Amino acid sequence: MPIVQSFGALQAMTSPPLWTGGSSPSLNLYGLNQAYADIYRTQPNVRICVDFLARNIGELTPQVFRRVSDTDRVRLVDHDLARWLGKPNPATRQYRLMENLVGDMGVYFNGYWLKVRYTGGDGRDAIGLVRIPGDQMSVEGGLLPEKFCWSSNGRDRDFPLSEIVHFDGYNPTNPLMGLSPLETLRRILAEEASASENRESYWRNASRHEGIIERPKDAPKWTPTQKASWREQWQERFAGPGNAGLVPVLEDGMQFKSASFSAKDSEYTLGGKLRREVCAAMYHIPLPLVGILEHATFSNVKEQHKHLYQDCLGPWLKMLKQEIEGQLLVECEDQQDVYVEFNIDAKLAGTPEERASSLQMAVGRPWRTVNEARALENLPRIDDPELDTVAPQQGGPAAAATPPAADAAARPSRTADDDPAEDA
């Protein structure tokens, strides 16, 4: 079985280029997957949802940690897995690798990385990661996969399981490859395509209502040639965006009767909103985050944002974490208590005011120095040792809330006639 030993060897394998501006060479073999790509290309509601997921997950950094104990861990910045994910290949950065992967998962419910084995500048064996488009890959086997087949430029190349990182979803009829969500959305997306085509035709014809022109019943009968000639003259004179606004003058006795529905009557707007809602629901995305704001308020949008990273993206991140550990971490020499985690704390931290208040409540005292605060405001530091030390809080929260001067003013003053024994 062929194993790619360098990026140069990979380039030679894909020569001529995989994409030359024409139709995909895998169209005949993988027509269904190509249809999913066309749906993504032409359906705005699908692209909105898929891009939303891809961009938000691509922004999260997969970090590598070692578990020291149940309550302690250390981040491994120089671990092999961290380096492979951080610099996948010379033409791809970490964000783009993850964005492309989730995009493929959203369209095909399958994603593929090809492992490119090479020797790094430090002399250590390394693995590069290159995305293979989902419409060019297939999995062969029975209940478990046996090999991968990559079809490009009319040629098939087989890869063993060890050379491909495969991410897939659930499919009730095929245990080897996921079933695209677009297959389930096919009928409602066909409705969307028909509605868009109808509206395009409507505007192309000068947004003029469809209708019927009636002639008087006692008018001379037209021959088929006369009917065709009159129709052509009407279309040439009044149809098309360049003729918008012209007022036709009908012959004596003729009447125009509308035979079309308005956008309101046909529920075009409501239907478009419903189709976007269904697409968002298919990808488990909160509706306000894809532009459906009818019932959105500041408070519920804020809660929906938390829901996004906890309930919507949570299962995605769990799947990605386990597949990376199961298919990439096993290639590393150092695997002892090592695991991958996507850092979402920054996304759930809230506003700076909320985060500062939460941290101060957790530690029970100030937690930044004066010079650190000045740096945040782009002010120069002051060379005073005391300003580089976190000041202890005096007397607890209640004492901190009452200035000393006000506290002194609130106490009654003692006079010479006061008897100290009374205080005792």
pLDDT digits 0-9 by tens, 344-396: 876 766 666 777 777 777 777 788 899 888 887 888 999 998 889 988 765 55
Q: Is 267 left (phi over 0), alpha (psi -120 to 50) or beta?
A: left
The C-alpha angle 86, 90, 124, rounded to 5 degrees, equals 65
Distances (CA, A) of 330 to 158, 227, 327, 374: 22, 76, 6, 46
Least confident of 108-117, 259-268, 346-355, 388-397: 259-268
Compute the distance between CA of residue 87 and CA of residue 84 in angstroms, rounded to an integer: 5
With beta carbons less than 8 A apart as the criterion, state whether 94 and 86 touch: yes
Residue 139 has pLDDT above 80, yes or no: yes
Give mean pLDDT, residues 181-203: 74
| First and final C-alpha spacing in the chain | 95
DSSP label of 209 = P
Least confident of 57-61, 177-181, 404-408: 404-408
- If pLDDT is split at 50, 70 and 90, which confidence band does 275 have? confident
The pLDDT value recorded for residue 22 is 36
SS3 content of the chain, % helix, strand, coil (to 5): 45, 15, 40
Cβ burial of 46 (10 Å; 0-12, 13-18, 19+) is buried
Distances (CA, A) of 255 to 211, 222, 245, 329, 420: 10, 16, 19, 77, 112
- If pLDDT is split at 50, 70 and 90, which confidence band does 404 have? very low
Compute the distance between CA of residue 279 and CA of residue 394 in angstroms, rounded to an integer: 56
DSSP label of 386 = G
Residue 301 has pLDDT above 50, yes or no: yes
Q: Is 63 left (phi over 0), alpha (psi -120 to 50) or beta?
A: beta
The pLDDT value recorded for residue 1 is 40
> Which amino acid makes up residue 11?
Q
The pLDDT value recorded for residue 244 is 59
With beta carbons less than 8 A apart as the criterion, state whether 393 and 368 touch: no
- If pLDDT is split at 50, 70 and 90, which confidence band does 328 have? very high
With beta carbons less than 8 A apart as the criterion, state whether 65 and 73 touch: yes
Overall size of the chain counted in residues:
424
The pLDDT value recorded for residue 299 is 66
Compute the distance between CA of residue 255 and CA of residue 354 in angstroms, rounded to an integer: 69
Instruction: Give the mean pLDDT of the chain.
Output: 78
Compute the distance between CA of residue 94 and CA of residue 224 in angstroms, rounded to an integer: 67
From the list 387, 407, 386, 385, the residue with the least C-alpha distance to 395 is 407
With beta carbons less than 8 A apart as the criterion, state whether 126 and 116 touch: no
Look at the block and give the residue holding tokens 């063993």.
160
Compute the distance between CA of residue 422 and CA of residue 424 in angstroms, rounded to an integer: 5
Distances (CA, A) of 381 to 140, 372, 373, 376, 395: 64, 8, 9, 11, 28
The pLDDT value recorded for residue 181 is 92
